[in-house]
Structure 1
Amino acid sequence: MRDIRKVVHGLKPAMMMLMVQIAFASVNVLYKFAINDGMSVRVLTAYRLIFAAATTIPLALIFERKNRPQLTWRVVFMSFFCGLFGGSLFQNLYFESLALISATFASAVYNLIPAVTFILAVSFGYERLNFQTAAGKAKVLGTITGIGGAMLLTFLKGVEINIWTFHINLLHKGKNGTLDDNSGSKLLGIFFGLGSCFCFALWLIIQAKMSKEYQGHYSSTALMSLMGAIQATLFALCVEKDLSQWRLGLSIRLLTSAYSGIVASGIMVIVIAWCVGIRGPLYASAFNPLMLVLVAIAGSLMLDENLYLGSVIGAILIMIGLYMVLWGKSKETKKETHLEITSELQEIQVVVTSTIVDHDCSNNNNTNCKSIIVDMDNKHEYDNSSKGEQEGQGT
């Protein structure tokens, strides 16, 4: 029973990150619907972060009311940049790219995050290259394989594959110009996607630093959501002049704003912050390719996006690269844990002594009392007699 609990506890970060990718894939599909309905990406991002702040702040007040870490200006400074790179700037760039190109294409560009995170993590000292070891080689080659798979999925089409007997086209092309085939718009969408990758990678690095200094996942996420909501709202008010964009109503706009804010930017960010604190930023970013596979399936089924042979081959390479990175990371984690346990055992020295006192001794008189002290370290036995003396000999 204990072994089963240990296995489940070891799989908990992976299961959590799988749940995160499913939630993010759902957000991509909902965003495509809301953008096709005519909603501004900047307003949608602001609403998303407002819903996220409204969700995470009460959770932080409830669950961390007794053990909340001390809030310092340094933590506030880091939370500002977490809100910028992981919230307002990242989401505006990424979902602008989603508006200009297909959901599958945007998700493919998004998968550059593990490579960028790996480079930045090595630069900031959170990861070691260790190319001489098998684990280090697996992480490097897995990152390269994942990037190659994402690029293959993006630029190689090949034969079209019809895996579904029917297509549910829920989008109406040409309503607001977001689904056009302009090559200039697609190129701009790719640049926006690349910018969002760097933002997300920087957020993972800053979040890893913040998790060590401010060990409150709910409070740190609430601070990040609050900062991001303020930044995104000010940006949307300055850029978006049409006040009708702020009306939600009972429509896909409200559903997308609430779901993406409460679930994706609220609960899921808490999960990501927890996983980053446990396994590091590279581990969290390595699960991002799973969203590509989920979005490709959803886009082919519901958004009338074509699925090609190159997409399938690229997805397979992405999965191979993902598990290579995870294997290398797990090997390094096991090695670091073993070294920590070994060093702790070497530092701890236990001296066991046993004293046997003659039961014939009176309570008030120590005369003719004899004690036997056994030295467990040197395997010697000493017979010490004390006659009226209070002196003790240490072994």
Structure 2
Amino acid sequence: MLREMKGISAMVVVQIATAGLNILFKLVVADGMEPRVLVAYRLVFATLFMLPLAFIFQRKKRPEFTWSLFALAFLSGLLGAVIPSTLAVTGIALTSATFASVAGVLSPLITFVLAALLRMESVGLGSRQGNAKVFGTVLGVGGALVFIFYRGKDINLWSTHVDLGNPKLHDSSNHHDQISIIGVLVVFGCNFSYSLWLLLQVKISTRFGGPYWNATLMNMMGSIVAVLVALCWDMDFREWRLGWNIRLLTVAYAAIVISGMVVAVNAWCIASEGALFVSVFSPVGLVIVALVGSFFLNETLHLGSIIGTVIIVGGLYLVLWGKNKEMKSTIPTTSDHVETNKTSKDVTLSNLPTLSINVP
């Protein structure tokens, strides 16, 4: 019971921290920071933070540095850091922090579809588990369409008239009631890239020596690409100035809290409770972002967005239920309970990714 309470408390803190990142992304873009510069700084800071941790905690697991390893790290950094981070920041600027969080819940569903198309995942049509996964995926897509295209009645939780992301309050009455279609595509592009990265991790993660080295190499290669892209996009070095402001806070928060602490806590929870335990807490982040966004960013909630979110979460849990049942049914019966439990956790970790668009 004590271990479960620690796990629950840890995952609630993780969801609060991840929700805070989406809010900070919205604020720093509204402050005028170039998204590509933000991503470059984040990955550089994350590399500097993770490298000592890798040497301290996984020195004996240090991988053999070869050209093949660096090539895989480059691909991992591109799919798991540069592309999704850039698209995430841009997508939040074009839509809302709430929508980006809702879309993040679709990542496991997108991963399941891609894995099935690449024959890395069995669909199992005709079985209860397979039908649950397919129906859950359809529900998730339907919920996303409801969220995007159906507005419904406005739901005003409170009237604070506070908009930290837009100093000129109410200059455009419909500013917060519209979701840019381009923004939607950008956010889903972020999830698509992240899902490809998850599938890549299933194949290559063991070659990096451990999660700390994996994250370090990914951030290192990603930071090189991100810096080059940012410099080629805009050579104005004034964009790179960091003061004691929201820009420095966001960069430090994303690198230290998300890429450092959250990665470590997620790894601990997955090792002790399994990936399914981590996955089921994603709706907590949705609620936090929706409440904070409506309070501080003047983001209006609508009946359609709430209905769409409920449908998406329902589809997610159907997929997770089907996956959990499938994992249990594939575990061979043995008298060695410890070995059986270890096998279950390893299989679940390989096939059931955690939920977040905020990559390490």
1:308 to 290, 298, 302: 302
CA contact (8 A) 2:109 2:319 kept: no
Equivalent position SS for 1:250: coil
1:341 to 334, 339, 356: 334
Match of residue 382 from structure 1: none
CA contact (8 A) 1:111 1:150 kept: no
**Cα–Cα, structure 1 residues 244 and 282, in superposed 2: closer, same or farther, change >3 Å?**
farther
Compute the RMSD of aligned alpha carbons.
3.5
- Of 16-25 and 41-50, deviating more is 16-25
- Of 203-212 and 36-45, deviating more is 203-212
TM-score using structure 2 length? 0.81
**Cα–Cα, structure 1 residues 117 and 285, in superposed 2: closer, same or farther, change >3 Å?**
farther
Q: Structure 1 CA distance, aligned partners of 2:298 and 2:235?
A: 32
Match of residue 297 from structure 1: 291
Q: Structure 2 CA distance, aligned partners of 1:42 and 1:294?
A: 26
Highest CA radius of gyration, 1 or 2?
A: 1
CA contact (8 A) 1:117 1:282 kept: no
Match of residue 77 from structure 1: 71
Q: Kindly indicate whether residue 229 of structure 2 is the aligned counterpart of residue 229 of structure 1.
A: no
Report the alpha carbon displacement of residue 164 of structure 1 after superposing the two structures with TM. Answer: 2.4
The 5 A counterparts of 1:190-205 are 190-205=184-199
Match of residue 4 from structure 2: 8
CA contact (8 A) 1:28 1:295 kept: yes
Q: Kindly indicate whether residue 262 of structure 2 is the aligned counterpart of residue 268 of structure 1.
A: yes
CA contact (8 A) 1:56 1:267 kept: no
Task: For structure 1, list consecutive stretches of 5 or more residues without a partner in the other structure.
Answer: 346-395
Match of residue 330 from structure 1: 324
Q: Structure 1 CA distance, aligned partners of 2:251 and 2:178?
A: 29
Report the alpha carbon displacement of residue 25 of structure 1 after superposing the two structures with TM. Answer: 1.6
- One-letter code aligned to 1:198: F
Bigger relative contact order, structure 1 or 2 (CA pairs below 8 A, ≥6 apart): 2
After superposition, give the CA deviation of every residue in 1:279-335 in whole Å (9 maximum; x if it has no partner).
999997776555433322221111001111112212222222222222222212222
Q: Structure 1 CA distance, aligned partners of 2:163 and 2:110?
A: 34
Q: Structure 2 CA distance, aligned partners of 1:273 and 1:210?
A: 17
Q: Structure 2 CA distance, aligned partners of 1:105 and 1:196?
A: 13
Q: Kindly indicate whether residue 109 of structure 2 is the aligned counterpart of residue 115 of structure 1.
A: yes
- One-letter code aligned to 1:253: R
**Cα–Cα, structure 1 residues 65 and 178, in superposed 2: closer, same or farther, change >3 Å?**
farther
Task: For structure 2, list consecutive stretches of 5 or more residues without a partner in the other structure.
Answer: 339-360
Q: Kindly indicate whether residue 119 of structure 2 is the aligned counterpart of residue 147 of structure 1.
A: no
**Cα–Cα, structure 1 residues 142 and 226, in superposed 2: closer, same or farther, change >3 Å?**
same
Match of residue 350 from structure 2: none
Q: Structure 1 CA distance, aligned partners of 2:52 and 2:173?
A: 39
After superposition, give the CA deviation of every residue in 1:3-38 in whole Å (9 maximum; x if it has no partner).
x47x739x95x8766554432221110111111111
Match of residue 244 from structure 1: 238
Q: Structure 2 CA distance, aligned partners of 1:178 and 1:92?
A: 27
- Of 253-262 and 188-197, deviating more is 188-197
Q: Structure 2 CA distance, aligned partners of 1:320 and 1:344?
A: 32
Q: Structure 2 CA distance, aligned partners of 1:307 and 1:157?
A: 9
Q: Kindly indicate whether residue 248 of structure 2 is the aligned counterpart of residue 254 of structure 1.
A: yes
Match of residue 46 from structure 1: 40
CA contact (8 A) 2:16 2:285 kept: yes
Q: Structure 1 CA distance, aligned partners of 2:76 and 2:270?
A: 13
Q: Kindly indicate whether residue 152 of structure 2 is the aligned counterpart of residue 162 of structure 1.
A: no
After superposition, give the CA deviation of every residue in 1:223-245 in whole Å (9 maximum; x if it has no partner).
01111111111111111222111
Match of residue 68 from structure 1: 62
1:58 to 52, 56, 65: 52
CA contact (8 A) 1:217 1:274 kept: no
- One-letter code aligned to 1:231: V
CA contact (8 A) 1:286 1:325 kept: no
Q: Structure 1 CA distance, aligned partners of 2:106 and 2:15?
A: 15
- One-letter code aligned to 1:8: E
Q: Structure 2 CA distance, aligned partners of 1:66 and 1:179?
A: 58
CA contact (8 A) 1:17 1:284 kept: yes
TM-score using structure 1 length? 0.74
